[in-house]
A and B are shown apart, each in its own frame.
Chain A
Amino acid sequence: MSDIAIEVSDLSKRFRVYREKPTSLKQRILSGRTRAEDFWALRDVSLEVATGGTMGLIGNNGSGKSTLLKVIAGILRPTKGLVRERGRIAGLIELGAGFHPELTGRENVYLNASFLGLSRAETDAVYDDVVGFAELEDFMDTAVKFYSSGMLVRLGFACAVHVDPEIILIDEVLAVGDEGFQARCLDKVRSFQREGRSIVIVSHALDQVRQLCDQAVMLDHGRVHAIGAPDDVVREMRLTILHHDLEFAREEGSKEVEIVAVDLLRGGLPVQGAIPSGETLTIQVDVRAPEPVEDPVVSFGLHDATNAFVFGDDTAHHGLELGTIHGTRRVRFALGPIPVTGGTYWVTLGVHSRDSARVYHVQDQRYSFQVQQADGRRDQLSFPVTVEMESL
């Protein structure tokens, strides 16, 4: 028996994109085939998922993650290359996939379980567990067209994890549902891992990929951009976002107070290169309020390259009252000496009301700086240490 559960080699997938899809014979004859344009959703993708391994697929929208999952699930056929799998696959490709809106929850469990390869008797055996896991005991005789999206995804996930799959494919669905259910999904995923089942997860939640996966792949325009340890791949993803796709960085808020400029300064000049640990750094934020706004608070947060929160602070904490602002104000946070070492740090900036009820503007991890690591060291932090010796 081999220890590779999914083997993808040189996989390419081409879609024909019709400007105006000719689907009748007449149109096809009249327009010929020339209107079709090729779009390569996947290009020469190779990867292996070990039996019992968990693979995370990340990438921007349109990078080919879902296409890859669909080819692995057998829904789409490769244009080139090969996919080889060992074992029963359960796919959770999309919210509510395989459900029929007119049927009740109960009927849909049986329908869905049959898609996943279960007989009626086998479904009878797991039915109560499925319903219990989804916490939908009171809704099983209701048509699923009346379900909320959270209920749908709970039922879908519950079906998929109770059919004893050897390989499970999960696309984004973990992002839906309340926190309690999400926690139970993650528990279930972890117990699958302990039982040696193989998992492929598509996710935008980078820290989830870091926590759950033992391997990650970043796709970019259909090609494998990075493959390897999740921490490295997630870091690469963040760098790519920074360089190519600033828009991807999350931004929200009412913009009653807007962040108009952010500068990272050392000695009054923009930061150049990596900062040695122990040095100082100033985060300078210019905010503008077109209309008067009372008592806003400016805050910042730092995340490391693995998306772990490192440190945060705000003006209110230091007793700085901005008062009613109208027009542009400049706020400076002077940090120092920097206690962290080695790595990239991401700066989140925000302006909100004092009670945090109103968010005026947040720029999520849009700016970054690097801290130097002293040669030959692997510390994460540098403590101020004094050392002394005395004779006894």
Chain B
Amino acid sequence: MTNVTERTSEPPRLHVRQRARELYRAREILWNLVRKELKVKYTASVLGAVWSLLNPVVFLAVFAFVTRIFKGGITDYPAFLLAGLLAWNLFSVSLSNGAQSVIANANLVKKVYFPREILPLGTVGVCLVDFVLQSTVLIVFFVVSGYGFQLNVVWLYPFAFVALLLMTVAFTMFVAALNVRYRDVQHLIGLAVLVWFWMTPIVYSAGAVYQFMIDSRFHINGWRLYLVNPVSWVVMGFQRALYHSSDAAKVLAPYSAPQLAGGLSVVIAIAAVAVYLSWRLYFSMSGDFAEEL
């Protein structure tokens, strides 16, 4: 079996199925790069992977303190915060590290041939490992504390997760491609992530935002505008799936789990298109990475 490869000056067009097969064949590279990143990230540090757990714990401590002071009291605040925060961490860290992923691996890009999509996908992979670690701790925490899960809402979790993953891949690939040519992107990401974080109901409750908008002169339109942010939907999905304290009706967005499943399905569809578009952009730009670095 001999496969013929042709290289021409044409910027390659993305044939999704064919390229997906190529990526599948290169999956070993992806595993190895993820392993490499994790190892490099943690080998020289004393605490190792504990660092990835420390982040949400510190967040929790800080925001528990702040909300107590501002009397924004949410019952079982840790459960509420962590439900949204872990998802947000996956998204935001992927984005900021993904922007650097091609540049950080310049020595590989310039000297070895491999499907370049591996690099941003590897970043997402590393964040995914952290996400799984943190989620495991979260689950243990839920079970041990007796907070538990409610079966009538927890089924929403996969919807939220798929939407989160697709959106993360789409945005990460997009910024990774652009940042090779325009190094502004990495600075922009820092600011964008900060704004985005506060525009998403992670540390404060979506229910409070809803009430505020309804009471204000923007009324329902203000709330609709707030919902344009797709990450809000994802976070609201995770919160609905995991948070079920007595005042959930007041704290969470005024949507039932089935309603959120519908909303998340739309987000998934949009995110899938976004993945395709940013993949296409990345793919056509990746041929020039070796000389742009």
* Contacts from A to B (Cβ < 8 Å): 1, 15, 23-26, 28, 70-71, 73-89, 91, 93-94, 97-98, 100, 102-103, 107, 110-111, 114-115, 117-120, 166
Name the one of A80, A81, A102, A119 contacting B39, with C-beta atoms under 8 angstroms.
A102
A82 contacts B2, CB within 8 Å?
A: no
> Can you list 29 A-B pairs with a CB-CB distance of less than 8 A?
A15-B291, A71-B7, A75-B112, A77-B7, A77-B9, A79-B9, A82-B6, A84-B4, A85-B4, A85-B6, A86-B2, A87-B2, A87-B3, A88-B3, A89-B113, A91-B112, A93-B112, A97-B111, A97-B112, A100-B36, A102-B36, A103-B36, A107-B32, A107-B35, A107-B36, A107-B39, A114-B32, A117-B25, A120-B31
Known: A78-B7, A86-B3, A102-B39. 12 other contacts (CB 8 A): A75-B111, A76-B291, A81-B9, A82-B7, A83-B7, A84-B5, A85-B5, A91-B112, A98-B111, A114-B29, A114-B31, A119-B28
Query: Which of the four size classes fits the interface of chain B?
Result: 35 or more
The one of B25, B32, B107 in contact with A111, judged by C-beta atoms closer than 8 angstroms, is B32
Report the Cα distance A38→B25, complex, angstroms: 37
A15, A75, A87, most chain B CB atoms within 10 A: A75
Q: How far is the CA of A6 from the CA of B17 in the complex (A)?
A: 26
Chain A contacts for B32, CB-based, 8 A: 107, 110-111, 114
Residues of B near A25 (CB, < 8 A) are 182, 184
Using A79-B9, A85-B5, A103-B39 as known contacts, say yes or no to A70 and B290 having CB atoms under 8 A apart: yes
CA A24 to CA B188, docked complex, whole Å: 11
Contact yes or no, B39 A1, CB < 8 A: no
- B112 and A23 contacting across the interface, CB-CB below 8 Å: no
Q: How far is B112's CA from A16's CA once the two chains are assembled, in angstroms?
A: 21
Give Cα A85–Cα B36 distance, bound, in whole angstroms. 31
Residues of B contacting A78 in the complex (Cβ-Cβ under 8 angstroms): 7-9
Query: How far is B184's CA from A118's CA once the two chains are assembled, in angstroms?
Result: 37
- Enumerate chain B residues within 8 angstroms of A75, measured Cβ to Cβ: 109-113, 290
Contact among A71, A84, A115 with B29 in the assembled complex (CB-CB below 8 Å) = A115
Min CB distance, A86 to chain B, in Å?
Answer: 5
Q: Which residues of B contact A26 (CB under 8 A)?
A: 184
Closest Cβ of chain B to A339, distance in Å, is 50
Q: Is B191 an interface residue (CB 8 A)?
A: no
| A168-B141 Cα distance, complex, nearest whole Å | 54
**Given known A85-B4, A86-B2, A114-B32, contact A23–B181 (CB-CB < 8 A):** yes
* Interface status of B288 (Cβ within 8 A of chain A): yes
B40 at the interface (CB under 8 A from A): yes
Q: Give complex CA distance A1, B40 in Å.
A: 45
Closest to B41 in A: A102
A77 surroundings in chain B (CB, below 8 A):
7, 9, 287-288
Given contacts A85-B5, A98-B108, are A24 and B184 in contact (CB under 8 A)? Answer: yes
Query: From residue 1 to 37 of chain B, which have CB atoms closer than 8 A to chain A?
Result: 2-9, 25-26, 28-29, 31-33, 35-36
Say whether B111 contacts A74, CB under 8 Å. Answer: no
Instruction: Judge whether B255 is part of the interface by a CB distance below 8 angstroms.
Output: no
Alpha-carbon separation in the docked complex, A80 to B108 (Å) = 25
Whole-angstrom CA separation of A120 from B287 in the bound complex: 27
Give Cα distance in the complex from A1 to B32, angstroms. 35
Which residues of chain B are within 8 angstroms of A82 by Cβ–Cβ distance?
6-8
Minimum CB–CB distance for B28 against chain A, Å: 4
| B114 lies within 8 A of chain A by Cβ | yes
Question: Across the interface, which residues of B come within 8 angstroms of A79, CB to CB?
Answer: 9
Return the 5 tightest CB-CB contacts between A and B, nearest first.
A97-B111, A114-B28, A77-B287, A74-B113, A83-B7
| Chain A residues whose C-beta falls within 8 Å of the C-beta of B5 in the assembled complex | 74, 84-86, 89
- The reply to whether the CB of B259 lies closer than 8 angstroms to some CB of chain A is no
What's the minimum C-beta distance from B14 to chain A, rounded to whole angstroms?
15
Across-interface contacts of A117 in B (CB, < 8 A):
25-26
Establish whether residues B2 and A1, one from each chain, have CB atoms under 8 Å apart when the complex forms.
Answer: yes
Chain A residues with CB under 8 A of B107: 97
Given the known interface contacts A26-B184, A115-B29, A120-B28, the answer about A86 and B4 at a Cβ–Cβ threshold of 8 Å is yes
- B43 at interface (Cβ–Cβ under 8 A)? yes
